[in-house]
Amino acid sequence: MNTSSLPAFGLGSFRLQGQQVIDSVRMGLELGYRHIDTAQIYGNEAEVGQAIAEGDVARDSLFVTTKIWTENLAGDRLIPSLKDSLHKLRLPQVDLTLIHWPSPDDAVPLNETMQALAEAKALGLTRLTGISNFTVAHMEQAIAAVGAAEIATNQVEIHPFLQNRKVVEFARAHGIHLTAYMPLAYGRVMQDATLQQIAARHGVTPAQIALAWSLQQGFAVIPSSTRRDNLAANLEAVKIRLSDEDMSAIARLDRGERLANPGFAPQWD
Ligand X SMILES: NC(=O)c1ccc[n+]([C@@H]2O[C@H](COP(=O)([O-])OP(=O)(O)OC[C@H]3O[C@@H](n4cnc5c(N)ncnc54)[C@H](OP(=O)(O)O)[C@@H]3O)[C@@H](O)[C@H]2O)c1
Give contact residues for ligand X (rule: CB under 6 A).
Answer: 12-14, 37, 100, 132-133, 155, 181-187, 190, 205, 207, 222-227, 230, 233-234, 260
For residues 120 and 199, which CB has a smaller minimum distance to ligand X in the complex?
Answer: 199
Please pick, among 33, 42, 181, 186, the residue that the annotation labels catalytic: 42
| Spacing of C-alpha 70 from chain mean position | 17
Q: Compute CA distances 28 → 48, 57, 114, 223, 255, whole Å.
A: 11, 11, 32, 11, 31
In whole angstroms, give the CA distance from residue 47 to residue 82.
Answer: 16
Which residue, 186 or 268, has its beta carbon nearer to ligand X?
186
- Name every residue whose Cβ is closer than 8 Å to that of residue 87 and which is 6 or more positions away in sequence: none
Shortest Cβ 37–ligand X spacing (Å): 4
Q: Which residue is nearest to ligand X (CB)?
A: 12
Nearest distance, CB of residue 75 and ligand X, angstroms = 22
Please report how many Cα atoms fall inside a 13 Å half-sphere around the Cα of residue 108, on the Cβ side: 21
Q: Rounded to the nearest whole angstrom, what is the least distance from the CB of residue 4 to ligand X in the complex? A: 21
User: Considering the complex, what minimum distance in angstroms separates the CB of residue 184 from ligand X?
Assistant: 3
For residues 7 and 57, is the Cβ–Cβ distance under 8 A? no
Q: Is 186 a catalytic residue?
A: no
What is the CA 116 to chain-centroid distance, rounded? Answer: 21
Q: Provide the annotated active-site residues.
A: 42
